[in-house]
Amino acid sequence: MKTFFHLDMDAFFVSVEELFAPELKGKPVVVGGRPDERGVVSAASYAARKFGVHSAMPLRTAHKLCPQAIFVEGHMERYREYSHKVHEVLCGFTPLVEMASIDEAYLDITGTERLYGPPLRAAHLLHERVQAATKLNCSIGIAASRMVAKICSDQAKPNGVLMVMPGREAAFLGPLDVRRIPGVGKVSEKNLHALGIRKVRDLAARDETFLEEHFGKLGLALAGKAQGLDAGGWFDTEIGAEDGPKSISHEHTFTEDTADVAQLEATLAKLCEMVGRRLREHGLTAGTVQLKLRYTDFSTITRARTMERATALDTELLDEIRVLFRRNWKAGAAVRLLGVHVSGWSEEGTQMDLLDDPRHERWQRATAAADLMRDRFGDSAVSLAASLRGKFHERAHETPPGLPGKKKTGRPK
């Protein structure tokens, strides 16, 4: 029998903002941008949530629901710094730690009784350590599976600890809405409701062939999850055996639609920098780049290109993206959103032949130096010349670059 913790920071972005601006405490706060801007809410304080504001909601909607809210742009570098602090505390507690996003982690604490006592005591100790190191609150769920532990931490919020005793999973899960199950979003919820499945116990009552017929692989995973088991997606890999991200992307929505080619290309340069940096942080090189382009009328195209050789260099990504852009943009048509997406990895270091190319090597050295500057002074400290005009703040989003612990590879040396 295993024992897992799921530790989730409470209103993480907002709480970090409050550390630097205590006057925000207890007030409705929205992180993500100005109230009149396009783009979405990254995080909302508990006081703002009472008005119905939640993350991923358009900023303008949040403003309508809660006009008195304080809107802040957010400080990605601070969130990252505090995420690293949390990660450090967790790694000092047990070696089996997996960050699931910037502010939550799974810990396998099986066999730590002699060190920390029973799981509830261990959780309180860990809670104190996180609080001491960061001055931030978190909630911890404890269960025999990660799936149930995650649901527990959610039910324990804010600032609580909740444990489901082994064998009591069905009784705990049964009365919960299906939406509480990790992996069940709005769409799956609707489809489940259409079949009369509203509570987890309704799901548990259906046999897995029925669920597989209706939902395929997801259905099988749901059958397992309804029993309190780790099944499907995230849970198919052991803690510590995670193989890193499947793709990396960044997008930018313009405050005003633009057809200014210089501004569009500068924005692409900035996006390539952000994507390139994340590739290097994961120690990966990408074989495929994809451009996403959305016009004023919301019509959207994506065009991909497989590169001759995989790369993690901003300049080489940009060369490819520029080709895609120039080929596919309806010249003169105003653009609402641009995105750069990369996939098709190989681990870096397997391509020794690249060192033969002096241009590539020069860029590699320049990029490494720029990364060091960005680590010290923030992401806006250094830019490729081409991206200077495309400067925009890195928006806070759920899985930013530099997420600790989610990868085996670490930063390339």
Give the footprint of Mg ion on this chain (CB under 5 A).
8-9, 12, 103
Work out how close the CB of 153 gets to Mg ion at its nearest, in angstroms, rounded to a whole number.
Answer: 9
Buried b (16+ CB within 10 A) or exposed e, 273-283: bbbbbbbbbbb
Q: Which is nearer to Mg ion, 185 or 358 (CB)?
A: 185
Work out how close the CB of 89 gets to Mg ion at its nearest, in angstroms, rounded to a whole number.
Answer: 15
How is the chain split among helix, strand and coil, in percent rounded to 5?
45, 20, 35
- In which region does residue 105 sit, left (phi positive, over 0), alpha (psi from -120 to 50) or beta (all else)? beta
Query: Hey, what are 79's tokens?
Result: 């969130």
Work out how close the CB of 11 gets to Mg ion at its nearest, in angstroms, rounded to a whole number.
Answer: 7
**Alpha helix positions (H), 196-351:** 200-205, 208-215, 217-226, 261-281, 314-328
Q: Which is nearer to Mg ion, 8 or 108 (CB)?
A: 8
Q: Which is nearer to Mg ion, 12 or 254 (CB)?
A: 12
Given 17, 18, 98, 104, the catalytic residue? 104
Work out how close the CB of 128 gets to Mg ion at its nearest, in angstroms, rounded to a whole number.
Answer: 18
Query: Strands, DSSP E only, in 49-152?
Result: 70-72, 97-101, 104-108, 138-143
Would residue 316 show up in a list of annotated catalytic residues for this protein? no
Residue 167 CA to residue 165 CA, distance in Å, equals 6
Work out how close the CB of 157 gets to Mg ion at its nearest, in angstroms, rounded to a whole number.
Answer: 8
Q: What does the angle CA 314 – CA 316 – CA 320 come to, to the nearest 5 degrees?
A: 115
Residue 72 CA to residue 35 CA, distance in Å, equals 9
Tell me, rounded to whole angstroms, the distance of Cα 404 from its chain centroid: 12
Tell me, rounded to whole angstroms, the distance of Cα 392 from its chain centroid: 20
Q: Which is nearer to Mg ion, 104 or 316 (CB)?
A: 104
Q: Which is nearer to Mg ion, 99 or 386 (CB)?
A: 99
Hey, which residues are catalytic here?
104
